[in-house]
Structure 1
């Protein structure tokens, strides 16, 4: 019997122990790639990239800098969400060029919006850009976790790692990127005791305000 979305969200949990023998199919991995790419982001600018790591040796090298959280190595794949180190008017130009090509929108309509967006990006201070881009990464993370639940893929969102060390190992500087979040994905182990725990959530009356 097909589970509803709410049932699948109840099924989801932050997986503590993955089954090392179970791997995501190419089809499932493609779904996660598409889901990441389709994430709703501010201005439509995609200033994020996702690094997908299957190589166990690379992940073993990351382990120490992830406080020895075994999900990093034992999952099927490790997803690392990254932000650009530089966000500037070139990103705006690329975005509007894509709009023009895909939608065939004339310059007369695009130029005012393009000019406004360039002004916003150019005048934004570096630390604000980093905060803004990082917030976008969290949106992508939430989207990926929901899609994982729908596809019955287990996942574990992680902030607990040392970004600078991870960046060095993955040579992210050469891509103009900084790591901000991780999401190990795969399938839960049969003996992960956390899988059977009931969800602890407040009642809707305590989290929802209806006006």
Structure 2
């Protein structure tokens, strides 16, 4: 099983050209949505959301906001990973209400942790909270890339885009969100030359330090 999983990870690469005629099935998209939702996040707070775009007119408009990268237009779907703009007491309270609902944990056990988190975040500067949220978005991106590899869904992780333009185009400001990462997904085109190239990585011995 380990060998098979590694082969899937070797198969993955950052697609430069998608087959615009091939679309991901509804089941594949549902899997991606669940994989995103199951991503580990600090404190379990999930200060991130994912926008799933499947609209060719909209995707075409996204190209100019992506420094001309046509992957966003030709991909089956475009996943936009966003962060919450406001992590306040109400947001934290909502999380602990969910914990109580799902696990049936008593208020006496939850209260100390909840109060500690509320106090901690109230002392943080906005930039510090934004950085923390963005770190959670990168965790989600990594999780999605691994899931895509295992499900043989092609993808191209992107930081090269204009968040402010994406936010306007997708109406994210009104939702209290800011886009931070983009992941076009679909199927590689047969004539994408990068699909035949060897993966360039250091030897495992160079990137791993073992301590016994």
Question: TM class by shorter-chain length?
Answer: over 0.9
1:138 aligned partner: 138
Task: Determine the structure 1 residue equivalent to 2:70.
Answer: 70
Give the alignment of 1:153-192 within 5 angstroms: 153-192=153-192
SS of residue in 1 equivalent to 2:183: strand
User: Is it true that 1:118 corresponds to 2:118 in the alignment?
Assistant: yes
Cα deviation, residue 210, structure 1: 0.8
TM-score normalised to structure 2 length: 0.97
What residue number does 2:103 align with?
103
Distance apart, 1:165 and its partner CA = 1.0
Q: CA deviation at 1:43?
A: 0.5
Q: Which runs of 5+ in 2 are unaligned?
A: none
**Is residue 61 from structure 1 mapped to residue 61 from structure 2 by the alignment?**
yes
Deviations 1:147-184 (A, max 9, x none): 00000000000000111111111111110011100000
Aligned residues: 210
DSSP-derived class of the 1:4 partner: helix
Structure 1 residue runs of 5 or longer lacking an equivalent are none
Instruction: Please list every run of at least 4 consecutive aligned residues from structure 1 whose deviation after the TM superposition is greater than 2 angstroms.
Output: none
Query: Which residue of structure 1 aligns with residue 51 of structure 2?
Result: 51
Superposition deviation, residue 78 in structure 1: 0.3
Q: CA RMSD in A?
A: 1.1
Task: Give the TM-score normalised by the residue count of structure 1.
Answer: 0.97
Take 1:21 and 1:62, find their aligned partners in 2: how far apart are those partners?
18
Spell out, residue by residue over 1:179-201, the C-alpha distance to the aligned partner (whole angstroms, 9 max, x if none).
Answer: 10000000001111100111111
1-structure distance, mates of 2:73, 2:54: 9
Q: In the aligned structure 2, how far is the partner of 1:92 from the partner of 1:4?
A: 40
CA displacement at 1:204 relative to structure 2? 1.1
